[in-house]
Structure formats: C-alpha cells, structure tokens
Structure 1
Amino acid sequence: MSRTETTVRRERPEENRWLDATVAGLAGGAVFGLYLQFVAGVLPPTGAAGDVGALATDWLVHLLHSLVFALVYAGLVNWSPLAGYADRVLTGTALGAGYGVGLWAVATGVAVAFWALANTVWILPIPTVSLGSLAGHVLFGVVLGGVFAAVRQM
C-alpha cells in the first residue's frame, strides 16, 4: 500500500488581500522612509532641515504614497499567472523587487517630467539615474513583496 501526502494550504479570502497589502505597504514604506531619511538624507526637505512639522508631513505623505503603491501591487499580483508566486515569501520578494524597479523607472522617467510641467518648467529635464533612489525603491519592493506574502500565509 502506498502512502500519499498532500499539502493543505489555507486560502485567505480575497477581501483580505487589500488589508494584507496595507500592512505590507506600511512596512515597506517605513523601511524605505528610514532609508531615505538616514542613509540617503533626502526625506527632510532641504529648506526645512530640523523642522519637526515638515518632517512629520513628509513622513505622512511618504506613507500614503507607499500605501497607494502597495494597493496597486496587490491588484497587479491578483492576476492569475502571478497570484501563486505573490503568496510565497521567496517569489513574492522577487516580484516585489521587480515592482520596485518598475516604480523607480516610472518615477524617474515619467513622474519627474509631469512634476516639472506642473511647476511651469517648460523644458523637460533629462531624468538622472540615481542608484540610491533605485536601491530605495528596490528595498521598498522587497519588503512589500515579502511581507505581503508572509501575511497572506497567516
């Protein structure tokens, strides 16, 4: 008589996906924010260094952006070819790293141009490649993807 083992995997309800993304986005945003503040030195605004109110506002805006981008991530990895990978920590971390690179590319190539136009800079700047910014976005994505997968498995 042969013995067959099966793995039982608990599926979390889909409505929890958004809550899981919220937790993961805030975790990723906190790590990215600490990187920006203490490693890159760019989170406090240049003109308001030492201003606690400005720093708190910057953190709030940063965490809100992190939350929005985490919800976008959850929507993207809900696509059936990615869903199984996003719910495992190792592959979820890799997906998150790729998402971080994508965010960085969009932020560098597109968002900066729109920001310049919104601020009446009519000559679009050539985006500068910042490896520090890339590292921060990848860090955000790694934490986002890893925490999202870990929370999904609880």
Structure 2
Amino acid sequence: MSGESDTTTAFGLRGTTGWFVGGALGGAIGAVAFGIVMVLLEPGVLEAAIPAIYGLEPAGPLGWGIHIAHGVVLGVLFGLLVTRPWILGVLRTDVETDVLSRTGIIIRLIGAGLVFGLTVWAILPLIVLPVWVSTLGVGEQTFSSVAAGSLLGHALFGVVLGAVFAAIVDLRDRNPDTPI
C-alpha cells in the first residue's frame, strides 16, 4: 500500500463528499456551541424565538432542532465555499507576512470559519431576520440580533465550524496549483 493512501486515511476525508460531511458535522457542532452561549445569555431565544420566526409554537427541543438544522445548512455552505479553487487558493497561498507564513491550512480554516461566522451574523440576523419578521408578521418577539451575545455566538459558531472542518477534511495537498 502506498504512503499516500495511508496519509489520506490518517488525516481526514477526501474526495467529492468530504467537504459536505465536514461542513455538516462542523455546522452541527458549531450550532451546539452557539446554542450553549444563547442558553447562558438569552435563555428564551432557543425555546421560543427561533420557532416563532417560522410561525411555530414553542415545543420542547424544537428550537434546538431548528437551530442545529440552520448550523448544518450553513456548515455545508462553508464547506462548499472553502473547497472552491478561488477560496482554497487564497487559503493555501504563501504570504510574505511572517505571522501568516507560519500558519498552516488548519489555522487558516479556523480563521476562515471566524470570518464566515461574522459574515453570517452581519447578513442573517441583522438584515434578513428583520425583513422576514416584518414581511411575514411572524415572530413578533424582539430579537437582540445586534447584542454582544449574538456576535459572540456567531463568532464561536464560525471558529468551531472551521476547527471541526479542518480536523475532518484533508485540504493540505488538494489542488496543488493554487489559482488566485
């Protein structure tokens, strides 16, 4: 057996579905981490507010289920984005800055996860959610989407997503020609 196949087995998923599995799992685990922050800082959001945006009554773990489903969808989107040549090329590019040149693909994926989480925070709860709530007239509760807890939760979601994705998916030697 060649050393290359041993390396692939030892360091993570490859192939056409690796990014999907890594994104879904990373998104689910990131959503759980974010959910814990929400429960600690704003307990009613998961139980009542998240189901309310879909016109649903609070019912047990429904809010958690919806929140984790959101995380899975966003995680798959992250996996899709970071494995495209134009973003993967940037993540793998050698740079002249000493600090960045010493980081590997794992640290860069965690950073990309952080940027993704902050972007999600800037788009979904700050722009999409208020429009959704006012247009559909559902979820009349006030959402503290601009609160520090929401920002912290989305940042944590992104960092955990990036870390889990980096741990599961092997991108070290994928697309050796880094197109930019």
Q: TM-score range by the shorter chain?
A: 0.7 to 0.9
- Inter-CA distance 143–128: structure 2 relative to 1 (3 Å threshold): closer
Give yes or no for the alignment of 1:44 onto 2:47. yes
Unmatched tracts of structure 1, length 5 or more: 1-7, 47-52
Seen in structure 2, the aligned counterparts of structure 1 residues 20 and 116 have a Cα distance that, compared at 3 Å, is: same
Query: Partner of 2:79 in structure 1?
Result: 74
User: Given the alignment of the two structures, is residue 65 of structure 1 paired with residue 70 of structure 2, yes or no?
Assistant: yes
After TM superposition, the structure 1 = structure 2 runs for residues 1-150 of structure 1, keeping only pairs within 5 Å, are 10=8, 12-41=14-43, 42-45=45-48, 54-83=59-88, 85=91, 88-107=105-124, 108-119=126-137, 129-150=146-167
- Quote the sequence identity (%): 27
Give the partner amino acid of 1:94.
Answer: G
Structure 1 CA distance for aligned equivalents of residues 145 and 105 of structure 2: 34
What is the CA–CA distance in structure 2 between the aligned matches of 1:67 and 1:135, rounded to whole Å?
19
Native 8 Å contact 2:23 2:75 kept in 1? yes
Partners of 2:37 and 2:59 lie apart in 1 by 18
Q: 2-side partners of 1:114 and 1:128: how far apart?
A: 13
Provide the C-alpha distance between the structure 2 equivalents of 1:118 and 1:106, rounded to a whole number of angstroms: 18
2 CA distance for matches of 1:68 and 1:115?
20
- d(CA) in 2 for partners of 1:104, 1:141: 10
Per-residue deviation at 1:131? Answer: 1.8
Distance 1:74 1:128, change over 3 A: closer
Could you state the TM-score of these two structures normalised by the residue count of structure 1? 0.76
Q: Is the 8 A contact 1:88 1:150 kept in 2?
A: no
Q: 1:113–1:75: structure 2 CA closer, same or farther, 3 Å change rule?
A: same
User: Gaps spanning 5+ residues in structure 2: where?
Assistant: 1-5, 50-57, 93-103, 172-180
Aligned length: 137
Shift of 1:153: 3.4
Q: CA RMSD in A?
A: 2.9
Q: Which deviates more from structure 2 when the two are superposed, residues 87-96 or residues 71-80?
A: 87-96
Q: CA deviation at 1:130?
A: 1.8
